[in-house]
Amino acid sequence: MTRTDTRIVGDAPGISLTVTESGEGRPVLVLHGGGGPFTVAGLVAHLAEAHQVIAPTHPGWNGTVRDEAVSSIQSLAEVYSELLRAEDLQGVVVVGSSLGGWLAAEMALDDRAEGRIAALVLIDAVGIEVPEEPMVDFFALDARGVAEHSFADPQKFFVDPSTLPPEQVARQAANMQTMRAVAGYPSMHDSALRGRLAELGLPALVIWGESDRIVTPAYGSAFAAAIPDARLTVLENAGHLPHIEQPEATSAVIAEFLASLPTRVG
């Protein structure tokens, strides 16, 4: 059973979150990237076959309201940490794609005292600074450039904006404006995050697409190396969104990792 509702988290008046929940089992929080919830929809459906999946829409994406208090990745991570408290979730695995991976890392750092988060799955995550492998200026890319940098097979996934309904184009533009406001423009990283990741004491799976040209596999190697208990898996014939290009391979790697974790707490 899948249900989508609005939840208010934090102190009054609180932050409004649109949350989709499905499945049963160990709680898995899935955090989408800048492209919006649809980019992780297939992954959510697969995970929900064996787990309780909580998949929020980041405030300001897809027409939802972004409170002024949500003005950075750190503040949004705090909102999701509060969601875990409000739901009294324990043994949570946080799965984050791209921008969502940055959020997941920030959440895990904030959670060290409470220990609600048991593990991380970071899929082509952004957020750290790797001077020798800088992130592409995503905001400078047109639709063709986004496809060419994001996918191993860009022609298969390229969508000409002129073929889309005006409301969808407007929604995508609004999503990008929200990403600028929350992730920071043009930096799209926290220069201190890479060093802080050494403080994490939980297992992490870092998945990367071999053909990612937004953040290269070398950037992924740096991300994995910064986390003491991390393993890196690079998937062939996949770019920045391997769960879209190679869903079966991505799901298999995640399933193996989740099976290796201790039984959930709580």
Structure confidence at residue 264 (pLDDT): 54
DSSP code of residue 188: -
Percent of the chain having pLDDT more than 70? 99
Distance CA 8, CA 6 (A): 7
Model confidence band, residue 266 (pLDDT cutoffs 50, 70, 90) = very low
Please work out, in degrees rounded to the nearest 5, the angle formed at the alpha carbon of residue 20 by the alpha carbons of 18 and 22. Answer: 165
Task: Compute the half-sphere exposure of residue 199: CA atoms within 13 Å on the CB side of its CA.
Answer: 14
Residue 265 reports pLDDT greater than 60: no
Task: Quote the mean pLDDT of the chain.
Answer: 95
- Mean pLDDT, residues 24-35: 97
Selection from 43, 25, 74, 29 nearest residue 246 by Cα? 43
pLDDT digits 0-9 by tens, 117-144: 999 999 999 999 999 999 999 999 999 9
**All residues at 6 or more sequence positions from 38 whose CB lies less than 8 Å from its CB, including other chains:** none
Give residue limits of the domains in the chain. Answer: 2-260
Backbone angles phi, psi at 60, to 5 degrees: 100, -15
Residue 40 reports pLDDT greater than 70: yes
- Global pTM value: 0.96
Structure confidence at residue 105 (pLDDT): 98
- Mean pLDDT, residues 157-182: 94
Q: Largest Cα–Cα distance of the chain, in whole Å?
A: 50
Residue 102 reports pLDDT greater than 80: yes
Structure confidence at residue 104 (pLDDT): 98
Higher-pLDDT residue of 77 and 10 is 77
Amino acid at 56: P
Structure confidence at residue 10 (pLDDT): 86
pLDDT digits 0-9 by tens, 204-247: 999 999 999 999 999 999 999 999 999 999 999 999 999 999 99
Residue 1 reports pLDDT greater than 90: no
- Mean pLDDT, residues 38-61: 97
Higher-pLDDT residue of 265 and 28 is 28
Range scoring the smallest mean pLDDT among 53-62, 64-73, 81-90: 64-73
Contacts 24+ apart (CB under 8 A), 154-159: 157/244, 157/245
Structure confidence at residue 12 (pLDDT): 74
Handedness of CA 101, 106, 109, 114 (dihedral sign): negative
CATH of domain 2-260: 3.40.50.1820
Structure confidence at residue 150 (pLDDT): 98
